[in-house]
Amino acid sequence: MNELRFAHEPDASRYTLRRGDDLVSVLDYRDDGRTMVMTRAYTIPTFRGHGYAGELVDRAVASLESAGDRRVIPVCWYVADWFAANPARRGILSDAARVA
């Protein structure tokens, strides 16, 4: 089974992406109820190079956009680079994160 499964695990302050039963990527965050600070995107080394971290960030941002109740501050360099590569999605960024 190679289907990707996205999950939000609020008790662990993270989003996850699994392929079958395997955890492939994790996105950690801090949430104060208004702003989500994305602190670390991590892909398990054996699964790197397949775009899983980008897929995970994309799904997490889509989930937040759909809920409409959080702004994002990308502290993690990977998440910041993802927003730089996806300028149409920058509308969810906190004003504090909107730097040229």
Instruction: State residue 100's pLDDT score.
Output: 43
For the chain, residues with pLDDT lower than 70 are 1, 98-100
Place of tokens 């995107």: 41
Instruction: State residue 3's pLDDT score.
Output: 92
Task: For each of the domains in the chain, give its residue range(s) and CATH number, in order of start.
Answer: 4-93 (3.40.630.30)
Instruction: State residue 99's pLDDT score.
Output: 54
**8 A C-beta contact, residue 63 and residue 89:** no
Q: Which amino acid is at 88?
A: A
